[in-house]
Amino acid sequence: MEGISEAGDEVRDEPFSCPECHKSHSARYLLVRHLKVHAKVKPFQCTECNKSFVHKHSLKLHIRSHTGERPHQCSLCLKSFPTRNRLQKHFIVHTKEKPFQCPECVKSFVSKDGLKVHMRSHTGEKPYQCPECSKLFVRRNTLNIHLRSHTGEKPYKCSVCLKCFTTSGSRHKHMKVHTGEKAFQC
């Protein structure tokens, strides 16, 4: 049963706790899988961009960022997504459910992480710093995209004309040139 400890920390019903970061898991195999993250051993490497991964499955999902493959389709609006998790998160768009409400303002969010990032707009926190130019960022993925401005890396390649892009979103928007789909309607 969940509760609050004497220290005010949330106590979980998940008995397998990571000794490194104290993240709790409900099963031993989940803890074992999680511990690989701290081992700093990433044996699975992408042949396109040389990014390495702890798990083979993570590499498989990453490769979709290069190929543009989106095998998980929403049954309501037919939008496609690279992972089942992304599809599940998208589905909330149709249910309009936003259970995580900001205690500072009226905004609500579909995920706990969304609320956590939003809270930084109230606190001014920018926890991610560029090692090249010291610019600060609210989100890690924004920092990662920014880093490409220093390296010139463009890891997302169009499968039709081979043009390269710094973000998957830019490539996805570009693909509409080849499909004839218009980005905006009048």
Query: Is the model's pLDDT at 22 over the cut of 70?
Result: yes
Confidence at 13, pLDDT banded by 50, 70, 90: low
CATH of the domain at 28: 3.30.160.60
Same domain as 138, residue 161:
yes
How confident is the prediction for the chain on average, in pLDDT? 84
Same domain as 62, residue 77:
no
Domain stop point among 67, 91, 107: 67
CA distance 37 to 116: 22
- Residue 24 domain flag: yes
- Contact by Cβ (8 Å): 129, 135: yes
- Residue 91 domain flag: yes
Confidence at 185, pLDDT banded by 50, 70, 90: low
pLDDT digits over 144-181, tens only?
999 999 999 998 888 889 999 988 888 888 888 888 87
Domain stop point among 52, 67, 82: 67
- Residue 124 domain flag: no
Q: In terms of C-beta density within 10 A (0-12 exposed, 13-18 middle, 19 or more buried), how is residue 99 classed?
A: exposed
Least confident of 29-38, 44-53, 72-81, 120-129: 29-38
Query: Is the model's pLDDT at 12 over the cut of 80?
Result: no
Same domain as 79, residue 57:
no
CA distance 73 to 84: 9
- Residue 121 domain flag: no
Range of the domain at 103: 72-115
- Residue 123 domain flag: no
Judged by phi (left if over 0) then psi (alpha if -120 to 50, else beta), residue 70 lies in beta
Number of domains in the chain: 3
Same domain as 136, residue 174:
yes
Q: For residue 17, give the amino acid letter.
A: S
Residues 40-59: what's their mean pLDDT? 87
- Residue 95 domain flag: yes
Least confident of 56-65, 77-86, 89-98, 177-186: 177-186
Same domain as 105, residue 91:
yes
pLDDT digits over 51-65, tens only?
888 889 889 998 988
CA distance 88 to 98: 14
Give the H/E segment covering residue 144.
Answer: helix 140-151
pTM: 0.50
Instruction: Return all residues near 53 (Cβ < 8 A) that are at least 6 apart.
Output: 42, 44, 45, 46, 59, 62
- Residue 157 domain flag: yes
